[in-house]
Amino acid sequence: MEALVGRVVPGGAELALMAKSPVPVRFLHRRPAAVVPLGGGDERLDGTLLAVPGAKGKVRDDLLHFLQSVVPLRTPGGEQRRDHVRIDFVRPVTMIPDGFQVGWLNGFTRNLSAGGILVAGAGGLDLGHRLRLRFELSDEDALLDLWGRVVRADEDWGLRGVHLESLPYVTRELLAKFVHERQRRALAELRAG
């Protein structure tokens, strides 16, 4: 089906259908889908379609919401840069570079996914540096203690992209659920707006 992307939130979008769906839209609710730009390319986004409530309890047949998957439906190809959905996420983080004998670096997270984190305050670290990261997902959560490696350095802004390494399954699931919940809330705000 062809659609125009209307409003966009991190990890989600509103899709305006260009023509009547060959399948009633109510049957598309919670179905896996892929969004591919008409121009082609390798920018496929995997996710889930959500029906949009209309008047008198009916489902709108001209709109769908698209929630990007935290874990893609397919194995990403070589052109795709990220394997996981990212959300904006600002929290204090303590960073201890591997090999530091004394001390640590204090910084802030900028965004987060189930496989990586963008941090500010680690300007002295170069590509390949390994470090320990300690932060909380929310005020009620226990402190996360993770290992990662710098895979991207932005010298202009002092930001470092860190790939999380050797994550236990439980921790990766915790991060994926946290990201998904943030996406769900963003889509609820989109519906309300």
pLDDT digits (tens, 9 = 90+) for 54-63: 888 888 999 9
Predicted pLDDT at 141: 67
Distance of alpha carbon 185 from alpha carbon 181, whole angstroms:
6
Q: Which residues, 6 or more positions from 97, have their beta carbon under 8 angstroms from its beta carbon? A: 105, 122, 125, 129, 130, 131, 132
pTM of this structure = 0.57
Domain assignments of the chain as residue spans, ordered by start: 3-75, 87-175
Contact between 138 and 129 under an 8 Å Cβ cutoff? The reply is: no
Confidence of residue 76 (pLDDT cuts 50, 70, 90): very low
Q: pLDDT per residue over 95-124, tens digit each? A: 998 887 777 888 899 889 888 999 988 878
Q: Look up residue 65 and give its two tokens.
A: 């919401």
CA torsion, points 75, 78, 81, 85, in degrees to nearest 10?
-10
Tell me which architecture the domain covering 87-175 has in CATH: Beta Barrel (2.40)
Using a pLDDT cut of 90, give the percent of the chain over it.
20
The pLDDT of residue 73 is above 60: no
Q: Look up residue 49 and give its two tokens.
A: 């379609």
- Dihedral of CA 82/85/90/96: which sign? negative
Contact between 111 and 89 under an 8 Å Cβ cutoff? The reply is: yes
Question: Hey, how many other C-beta atoms are within 10 angstroms of the C-beta on 152?
Answer: 13
Predicted pLDDT at 72: 46
